[in-house]
Amino acid sequence: MHKDSHALTKLQNNADVDMTSMLDIVFILLIFFIVTTSFVKPVAIELNRPLDSPQIDKPVKNALFRIDESNGIYFSGRLIDLEQVATNLAMFAAKYEISSVLITADENSTHNTLMSVMNNIKQYDDYSISLISK
């Protein structure tokens, strides 16, 4: 029995398989399929996009501010606060294209109120401002 167990040990030692050539074949096949594969270019639909922003023809108007003798600020005949100058101008600009901003100031109004109204207008947009005397 001693001979048989020695022969069995020899067979087990020779059972290793060399995988190097198998890996070579796998890599060669992989490279072959990668090279021969034709990649499908995705078909895109061409769109005719509109220009950046649609031009809406708005009527051209002047925005009119009035400062009365007690430093009350009026826009389009309505009394507004100083903080509402830019808001009212924005609502007016949504409806009309503003060519210029006209300001009528009473002679008894303060210079500070006039300058504050003008600064709020300039902060909203760079409109040309005209002062109108009565």
Per the domain annotation, does 12 fall within a domain?
no
Per the domain annotation, does 43 fall within a domain?
no
Residue type, 44: A
Per the domain annotation, does 10 fall within a domain?
no
Per the domain annotation, does 90 fall within a domain?
yes
Per the domain annotation, does 30 fall within a domain?
no
CATH of the domain at 111: 3.30.420.270
Return the pLDDT at 1. 52
Full domain range(s) for residue 90: 60-132
Per the domain annotation, does 49 fall within a domain?
no
Q: How many domains does the chain have?
A: 1
Q: At a CB cut-off of 8 Å and minimum separation 6, what does 83 contact?
A: 120
Measured torsion, CA atoms of residues 87, 89, 90, 92, in degrees rounded to the nearest 10 = 130
Per the domain annotation, does 16 fall within a domain?
no
Backbone angles phi, psi at 50, to 5 degrees: -70, 170
Return the pLDDT at 28. 93
Per the domain annotation, does 27 fall within a domain?
no
Mean pLDDT, each 10-residue run in order, the chain (134 residues): 56 68 91 84 78 72 90 90 89 88 88 90 85 77
96: tokens are 């009309």
